[in-house]
Homo-oligomer: A and B are copies of this chain.
Amino acid sequence: MASGGNGPDAPAPRKRADARRNEATLLDAAAAAFVESGVNVPVRDIAARAGVGVGTFYRHFPTRADLIVAVYRHQVEACAAAGPVLLADRESPHQALASWIGLFADFLVTKHGLADVLRSDDAAFQTLHAYFIDRLVPVCGQLLEAAVAAGEIRPGQDPYELLRGVGGLCAGADGDPRYNPRRLAGLLVAGLRAEPAQARAAG
C-alpha cells in the first residue's frame, strides 16, 4: 500500500458502458430468478434471462457468492441498520433482540435457499459468509450485550453462534405449514433468558 499517488478508490478506471449495462441486467435477472427458483437457480438460466452468455456472467460474478451479495446487499444493510433503532425504540434490550432476530429470520425465510447456502462450507461461499458476518455479527453482539447489561439474559452467548443457529432454523423452511422457523428462533432467544432459579434445580 501507499506505493502510488492514487487514493484507494482510484484503481477502478470505470468500466466500459456495455459492461456496466450487462452487470445491471444480470443483477435484475438474478433477482427475478432468485424469487422464482431460489438462489440455486442454474447459472445458464440467469444468463439466458439476461440475454448474455455464461462467460459474461462469470466475468461479472466470479462466484455465486458475489452475485448473492450483490443482489441482497441493500436488504442486509437495512437489517444491520435496524439493530440500533430497535434497541432505542423497544422497551427492553431483550425485546429489541427478539424483534431483530425475527427480522433476520424473516429475511432468510423469504429468500428461498439463502439460509442453506449461508451454511454451506463450500469455499465458493466464503465471500458470502464473510459479508454476513461482518455486517450482522457486530449488531447482534451489541443487542446481546445490552440485554446482558440489563440483566435479562445470561452472559457468554457468542453472537456468531446465535446467528448461525437462526440461519440453520430458517434453512429449507419453504412451504411447510407445520414448520415455523421464526417461532423457533423466538424460542432460542427465550432460552437465553437469565435462569429464574427454578430451572437449575437438578443441574
Contacts and interface: CB of A to CB of B under 8 A. Distances in A.
Contact of A161 (B95, B162, B171, B180): B180
A172 B120 contact: yes
A170 B173 CA distance: 15
Interface stretch (A15-23, A49-57, A62-70, A182-190): A182-190
A193 interface: yes
Contacts of A168: 168-173, 181, 184
A199 B191 contact: no
B190 A189 contact: no
A174 interface: yes
A191 B202 contact: no
B186 A191 contact: yes
A202 to B, nearest CB: 5
User: Copy number in this complex?
Assistant: 2
A160 interface: yes
Contacts of A158: 178
A199 B189 CA distance: 12
A202 B169 contact: no
Contacts of A189: 191
A103 interface: no
A26 to B, nearest CB: 27
Contacts of A180: 161
A89 interface: no
Contact of A181 (B91, B165, B178, B199): B165
A147 to B, nearest CB: 13
A92 interface: yes
7 contacts: A91-B202, A95-B202, A168-B170, A168-B173, A171-B171, A184-B188, A187-B192
